[in-house]
Amino acid sequence: MNFKKDKVYDLNIAYIGGGSQGWAWGLMSDLALEPSLNGRVRLYDIDHKAAENNAIIGNELNKRDDVKSQWHYVKSDSLKDALTGADFVVISILPGTFDEMDSDVHTPEDYGIYQSVGDTVGPGGIIRALRTLPMYEEIALAIKEYSKDAWVINFTNPMTLCTRMLYKTFPEIKAFGNCHEVFGTQKLLISALKDICDIDDVKREEIKVDVVGINHFTWVTKATYKGMDLFPIYEQFVDKYYETGFVKEGDDNWMNNAFASGQRVKFELFKQYGYIAAAGDRHLAEACKGSWFLKSPDRVKDYTFGLTKVDYRKEKQKNLREKGLRLRNLEEQFEIKETGEEAVQQMRGILGLRDFVTNTNLPNKGQFSNLPKDVVVETNALFRRDRVMPITMGDMPMSLLGLTMPHVTNQELVIEAVTERDLKKAFRAFINDPNMKLDLHEARQLFNKMVKNTEKYLPDYFKNVEV
């Protein structure tokens, strides 16, 4: 990377999954609004046409008066081309297609198992991991060969397992995983301040939180606003909306938006454990026992959230592809706006332009003294020049440890299964999941069916094997 006299960095960014119609566009927008960074973005995607379209869309931004920086976007046809000389590597890929995700999410419903997301834990999360982690082995080896000193930012789910596989394959990698779930809980605390204390105009960054846990099962153990303890305020807020749920005025109601909720899962967990559950309700529900929140579709409605159907995702993908063509052909103007994601600010921290603290996913190097070393955990970290320093939290509270440890051990078992090419170990993780309530015969039947449905994207050693 080159530091110019006018204090504007000239960067090389490799984007793996660069044909994305979601994360890639968001990064383009955030980069366009950051005046301290300029450079090149190499877009690599197995869908070469999608990457080429995004390169055209990105380069068109340079002609506009509302951009604050200049970026040259180019399609790369290989990982080698994309990664060589990269200062930062961004990864956001869809492992397989939504047809495979359809099986991940909906095949277990035939056995009475419901999932609200199906990309992190549960039967769907585990099967998704089987096709994702071999891809991450390949990516990690390519980074080792072509850009070993680059900083790597992962957005792909299952977040914990993807980040863990990067380090398992290339221990010296400088990678971290980004997730915005905690941001939603900071915004919920802003709503509590307004509702209980009539305090307005609070920025999310002013809500300071201590984050503990693993991705999509995070908790806040301390929360303050200008030194004010927010736990008593949140407790009043929970009591007020425990029965009805809470929807902020102007936001989509959970009944009309598959990604929204009335926060009742959060409220229930706060009452039971005394800590603020910090992920979205859909993810929190999946990390708990299946009988708690996902026992049936009616139970899901009682807790004011929804089961995100894959047909919804397919329709959204179709609409985004059509939008991408309109943007490419200049039939629609690209909207430049801050996304609320923090990758660009993390880059600025690593480049030494600012000190920056936010939650991120990193191997456990002492963040939690009562969790195994090297498992990937989510806590706050300080981003400072050429360093990302996770904040030590000591012991995870025992009540939260009891909920978290089954997932930690299960995720390590999935890593072993892929690394050792052992489908039987994958099945052990499958039946160990808290949402698995089948007998062994039914569990084998479901597992084999789901593996068969996704085998196109599994390496050879997984094909035509039944447990």
Catalytic residues, by residue number, are: 180
Contact 86, 147 (CB under 8 A): yes
* Pairwise CA distance, residues 36 & 15, whole Å: 20
Which is it for the CA torsion 345, 351, 354, 358, positive or negative? positive
Cα dihedral 168, 216, 26, 149 in deg (nearest 10): -20
Cβ atoms within 10 Å of 74's Cβ, excluding its own: 16
Question: Nearest 5°: phi and psi at 26?
Answer: -60, -45
Burial class (CB in 10 A: 0-12, 13-18, 19+), 189: buried
SS3 per-residue string spanning the chain: CEECCCCCEEEEEEEECCCCCCHHHHHHHHHHCCCCEEEEEEEECCCHHHHHHHHHHHHHHHHCCCCCCCEEEEEECCHHHHHCCCCEEEECCCCCCHHHHHHHHHHHHHHCCCCCCCCCCHHHHHHHHHHHHHHHHHHHHHHHHHCCCCEEEECCCCHHHHHHHHHHHCCCCEEEECCCHHHHHHHHHHHHHHHHHCCCCCCHHHEEEEEEEECCEEEEEEEEECCEECHHHHHHHHHHHCCCCCCCCCCCCCCCCCCCCCCHHHHHHHHHHCCEECCCHHHHHHHCCHHHHCCCHHHHHHCCCCCCCHHHHHHHHHHHHHHHHHHHCCCCCCCCCCCCCCHHHHHHHHCCCCCEEEEEEEECCCCECCCCCCCEEEEEEEEECCEEEECCCECCCHHHHHHHHHHHHHHHHHHHHHHCCCHHHHHHHHHHCCCCCCCHHHHHHHHHHHHHHHHHHCCHHHCCCCC
Residue tagged 């000190």 (tokens): 355
- Distance CA(130)–CA(116), nearest Å, equals 19
- Spatial distance between the Cα atoms of 177 and 175, rounded to a whole number of angstroms: 7
